[in-house]
Structures are given as C-alpha cells and as structure tokens.
Amino acid sequence: MLSVRDVTVAFAGVRALDAVSLEARPGRILGLIGPNGSGKSTLLNVVAGAIAPDSGSVSIEAVPIPAGRPEEVAARGVARTFQIPRLARRLTVIQNMMVGRRDQPGENLLTLLFRPGASRRSERALVVDARAMLARLGLIHLADHAAGGLSGGQQKLLSMGMALMSDPPVLLLDEPAAGVNPVLVEQQIVFLKSLAAEGRTVLLIEHNMEMIADVCDDVVVLDAGTVIARGSPVDIRRNAQVMRSYLGETA
Amino acid sequence: MLDFLVFAVTMIAIWSVVALSLDLQFGLCGLVNFGQILPFALGAYGPAISAAHGGSISAGLALGLAMAAVGGVLVLAPVGRLSQDYWALVSLGASEIFRLLMVNVTPIAGGQDGTAVARVSNPLAALGLALGLLLAMLLLARRIDRSPLGRLMRVLREDDLLVATLGRNPFRVQALVTVVAWLMAALAGALYAHVVGFVAPSSFSVAETFIVWTALILGGAGSLLGAVVGTAFVQFISVSTRFLAAWSGLPFDLVANLRLGIFGVVLVLVFLLRREGLVPERKVRVDAVGP
C-alpha cells in the first residue's frame, strides 16, 4: 500500500500542498483531480521522490521512501510518467523501451569488459520483452523510428511503456490522456484497467472526467493544496463543491 | 618526407585518443568539457614529475593516471548532480589553474621551462606505440558505445531527470564516464610526453582544448570514427603548417595564428553546412530478435 501522510510543500511561502493524506491500494486505480494549480503534479513529484516535502511523509508498505531521491524511489518500484513526456528523442522507440529496464548487467563497465556474454544474453531477453510491451501498446510498427518523431499521444504511450519495463508495483501517471486522440484514449483505458488487474497500484492525474469515471476505483479531489473531497467516481460527480471548484464559481 | 609522415601519423594517433575521450564525454554523454586538455596534461605531467624527481617511467605513468582519475572526480564533484551546464566553465577553469600552477611552481616539474623526460628515440617505435594505444582505446570506446551503458549515456545526454526517473543515478554515470575518459586522455598525454621527450606548460593551453573540439565537431560528435577522422584532418593541418613555417620562412607566430584562424573557419563551415560532421553518429539499431 502507498500512503501519503500530512504532506506539506511550500514554494516561496505559497503552500502548494497543505497536510495532504491519501492511501492507494494494489489492484486499484486512484484518480487525482482538481483545477490547474491545485497541487496534483506537486503531489505526484513528492511521491516519486522528485520533491522533498517540507513536512509529512510518503511510505510504501509502511517503509518511508527516500525523499528527494527519484532514482532511489524508482528502485523501490515506483515508476512514473510526466505531463509532457520525457523521452530520449534522438534514440529509437525500442531503445527508449530498453532503457526503461533497471539493473542491466551491460550498464556495468566491469561486466562489459570482462563478461560481455552476460550483457549480450540480457540484451537478447530485453529486446523480446520490449517488443512484447510495444505490441501491447500498439506501437510495435514504430519500433525503429526516432522517439522524437512520434505524435504526442504515441509519446505518452511510449513513456508509459518505458515506465513499465521494470515491472513496477506502483505507477504514477500525470495526465496520460491530455491532448491524445479519442481512439488512443480508448486504448489507454483498456491498458490502465489491465495494469490494475495485474495488481499494480495506479495513481492517475487526469482532467478527462470520462476517463476518471471509467477507470478509477477511488477519486481524491485537490483544491488549493488541500483535499476537498474523496470517494467513488459516482460520489464525486454528485458532489456540488467539487463541480464548483472544477467548473469555476459561476457554475 | 617519410620522417614527416611518421611523425604526423604518430601525432594524429595520440590526439585521436584525446578526441575519443572527449567524444565519450560530450558526444555520447553530453558532458561539455572545455578543459579536455587537463587530463592530457595530467597524464603528461606524471612522467615529467617523476623525471624531475628521479622516479622511474612506470612510476610516472602510474602518477599521471592517478592524477587524471582523481582530477576528474574533483572537477566534476563541486558541480553537483543534475547541473552539467556549469561543467563547461568549471573544467575550463580547472585546466587553466593546473597550467598556471605548473608555470609558477618551479619545483614541481621545472616551471615555465619544463622538464625533459625519457624519449622514445626510434620514430617507428613511437608510431607503433601510438597506433597500439589508439587501437586499444577505439576498441574500449566501441565496446561502451554499443552497450547498454552507451545507450544509458545517450539518454543522459538528452535528459538527466529521465535517467533518475528510470532508477539510475545520473551523477554516478557521469562520474564513471569522466574517470574512464580522463584515464584515456591521460594515457595519450603520457605517451605524448615520452614521444616528444619534453613537458612544458605551453603545450597545454586553452587553445589545445579547442583544437580537440574542432576535430570532434568536424568529424561528428557521437561517432567514434568521426573523432579519428576529424583529428586526422585537424592534426595534419596543425603539423604540416609547422613545417610550412620552417620551409617558407614566414614568422612562426603568424603561421600559428593563421592555423587557429583556419580551425575557426572550419568550425563555422561545419555548423553551416554539415552539423552532424563528416562521419555522422550511427543511427543505433537493435536487431529484431524473437517474436
């Protein structure tokens, strides 16, 4: 279980997050919604270790994560994507996928020099896995294209695939459907459900209410850095306060 | 004429190793090192310091390599993680600090006047050593280039936060690349010292760093063959203009400055006409295996 306890983050005196707590469980998709600037991405960055909170803590299976150390948090099995996909644009799609796997023997110089066979074997297995994941994402026909040449939606799928290459128990997704064409969104919805069915904990930031209603088991609503509502997608839709904060004061 | 060719190829081989070292750092990993002459100088000063204090050749070599490995980490460390942009300035400053230290502290290795070291007197032996070193370093660089480590370095070149997000420590990769690359350049420096037979601070000015950069940009950053091709072109001009000066009777200073001018023009032309260099970076392919 992923649990966030009383996390507070202030940027130059402005409280981006104010004592936020939440819990996300394996096999379930937790949606994180709220207006722009409500602190969703900041919360994701705290969970991913990219931002160290001023107070509060994040823990996985009751063990606190090393705050502010994204590479160590990733090693604990937390993978993430970004709102604007981060990829090695000059490398090919399959290479991006392959670099998603941690602990590769061929990334160790001594192994490379003295046991090159170990690296070659791991590469052969890795290519197979990477191609399987690309097929699952519907990107296999683009395997040898430069990642930078992909459409925005394809780049989002690719970065999700990279995040999954280390088989992470926890997955943090920042607006995977924003700016993506409806066909790819449908594909993502199916994909997200299959990830939860595999027993992963998924934390999803999304503005697309249709997607939230379709895939999320639970929803947490942030506004101005505090949790203003939580519940099932149906509860949240009925909640008048949420709709006001989402659609503006006039709604 | 044959003597000249042997000398020219020896110099091309030695400087190719320095260019390869810069290629590993900048071409593959995105580390902008404007002090690339420093590891070369450290490698050359190992033998010089050893000779000045009565040490052996192997002690000098070991000293040069040790200084380069430690120097690389020392120069990289203060820049800290995830901020490689500043490294250009820090490395440039470090190379000048070392050169000025050697100029001003005479007891270390003779100061401005330099130190004589044991010279490989047979030009063909020097050529053989230089080509042997180049071949070994090419094989090492190629092994790294085509490996998962090389792939990770290319991701680091584009986005260090992505590398951290994927569970690797960017600073550790940078430190590893720096130590390996600086050891390569130091080996070249030590060989240079024993081929020339003399080590003085004037050989390690900032201009030398930018000549290596010119070679790498001309040849194609990110391409190992490019580093060698670019160096062959640049060093051939460099060495032959020295002979040209002696032969034509033009003032030596004028020819030296003209040479730098030519390199400047070469850089501008490459940026305008062929940004990827003479031998562009290989588009890395992964062979399709399995389903």
Q: Which of A49, A39, A41, A48 is nearest to A18 (CA)?
A: A39
ipTM for the predicted complex comes to 0.91
Tokens of B289: 């295996």
Task: Quote the minimal CA–CA distance from A151 to chain B in Å.
Answer: 19
A209 inside 8 A of chain B by CB: no
In chain B, domain spans? 2-202
Tokens of B106: 């005479």
**Sheet with strand A218-223: strands edge to edge:** A78-80, A170-174, A201-205, A29-33, A218-223, A226-231
Cβ within 8 Å, pair B291-A132: yes
pLDDT band (50, 70, 90) for residue B258: confident
- Stretch A146-157: mean pLDDT, rounded? 92
Better-scored residue on pLDDT, A95 or A36: A95
Q: What percent of chain A shows pLDDT beyond 90? A: 75
Q: Which residues of B touch A66 (CB under 8 A)?
A: none
Residue A251: its pLDDT value, please?
37
- At residue B200, the 3 state secondary structure works out as coil
B285 inside 8 A of chain A by CB: yes
Q: Which residues of A touch B291 (CB under 8 A)?
A: 128, 131-132
Cβ within 8 Å, pair B154-A144: no
Cβ within 8 Å, pair A48-B151: no
Cβ within 8 Å, pair A74-B285: no
Task: Quote the minimal CA–CA distance from A96 to chain B in Å.
Answer: 8
Task: Quote the minimal CA–CA distance from A101 to chain B in Å.
Answer: 8
Q: Is the dihedral of CA B219, B224, B229, B233 positive or negative?
A: positive
Q: What structural domains and CATH numbers belong to chain A?
A: 1-77+168-251 (3.40.50.300), 91-163 (no CATH)
Residue B272: its pLDDT value, please?
93
Q: Which residues of B touch A143 (CB under 8 A)?
A: 286, 288
Q: Is the dihedral of CA B180, B183, B185, B187 positive or negative?
A: negative
Nearest CA in chain A to B177: A109
- At residue B285, the 3 state secondary structure works out as coil
> Would you give the DSSP letter of residue A81?
-
Cβ within 8 Å, pair A127-B284: no
pLDDT band (50, 70, 90) for residue B291: very low
pLDDT band (50, 70, 90) for residue A250: very low
- Stretch B86-105: mean pLDDT, rounded? 93
A75 inside 8 A of chain B by CB: yes
Read off the pLDDT of residues A52-82 as tens digits, 9 standing for 90 and up: 999 999 999 999 999 989 999 999 999 999 9
Q: What average pLDDT does chain A have?
A: 91
- At residue A10, the 3 state secondary structure works out as strand
Question: Which of A82, A113, A119 minimises the CB distance to B148?
Answer: A119
Read off the pLDDT of residues B153-178 as tens digits, 9 standing for 90 and up: 999 999 999 999 999 999 899 999 99
Read off φ and ψ for residue A172, nearest 5 degrees.
-115, 120
Question: Which of B159, B166, B169 minimises the CB distance to A100?
Answer: B166
Long-range contacts of residues A53-57, Cβ cutoff 8 Å, at least 24 apart: A53/A7, A53/A8, A53/A9, A53/A17, A54/A8, A54/A9, A54/A10, A55/A6, A55/A7, A55/A8, A56/A4, A56/A5, A56/A6, A56/A7, A56/A8, A56/A19, A56/A20, A56/A21, A57/A4, A57/A5, A57/A6, A57/A7
| Measured torsion, CA atoms of residues B152, B154, B157, B163, in degrees rounded to the nearest 10 | -30
Number of CB atoms found within 10 A of residue B175's CB: 16
What's at B2, amino acid-wise?
A: L
Nearest CA in chain B to A76: B167
Choice among A115-129, B34-48, B230-244 with the minimum mean pLDDT: B230-244
- At residue B236, the 3 state secondary structure works out as helix
Question: To 5 degrees, how large is the angle CA B210–CA B34–CA A69?
Answer: 155
A123 inside 8 A of chain B by CB: yes
Residues whose CB falls within 8 Å of the CB of residue A59, separated by 6 or more in sequence, listed in order: A2, A3, A5, A65
Q: Is the dihedral of CA B57, B62, B63, B65 positive or negative?
A: positive
Q: Which of B8, B4, B7, B16 is nearest to B188 (CA)?
A: B16
Question: For residues A158 and B56, what is the distance between their CA atoms, to the nearest angstrom?
Answer: 57
Run of H or E including A80: strand A78-80
Read off the pLDDT of residues B168-210 as tens digits, 9 standing for 90 and up: 999 899 999 999 999 999 999 999 999 999 999 999 999 999 9
Residue B185: its pLDDT value, please?
98
B251 pLDDT above the threshold of 90:
no
Q: What average pLDDT does chain B have?
A: 91
pLDDT band (50, 70, 90) for residue B81: low
Q: Which residues of A touch B171 (CB under 8 A)?
A: none
Residue A209: its pLDDT value, please?
83
Tokens of B256: 């030296």
- Best residue in A44, A95, A108 for a mutation probing chain B (most B CBs within 10 Å): A95
Nearest CA in chain A to B153: A107
Cβ within 8 Å, pair B149-A131: no
pLDDT band (50, 70, 90) for residue A242: low
Read off the pLDDT of residues B16-40 as tens digits, 9 standing for 90 and up: 999 999 999 999 999 999 999 999 9
Question: Which of A48, A86, A132 minimises the CB distance to B162?
Answer: A86
Cβ within 8 Å, pair A48-B143: no
A241 pLDDT above the threshold of 80:
no
Q: What percent of chain B shows pLDDT beyond 70? A: 95
Question: For residues A156 and A192, what is the distance between their CA atoms, to the nearest angstrom?
Answer: 13
A121 pLDDT above the threshold of 80:
yes
Note the pTM of the prediction, 2 decimals.
0.91
Residue A245: its pLDDT value, please?
66
Cβ within 8 Å, pair A86-B289: no
Run of H or E including B116: strand B115-116
What does the DSSP assignment read for B65-99?
HHHHHHHHHHHHGGG-TT-GGGHHHHHHHHHHHHH
Report, in angstroms and rounded to the nearest whole number, the Rg of chain A calculated over CA atoms.
19
- Stretch B234-261: mean pLDDT, rounded? 84
Task: Quote the minimal CA–CA distance from B115 to chain A in Å.
Answer: 36
pLDDT band (50, 70, 90) for residue B290: very low
Run of H or E including A79: strand A78-80
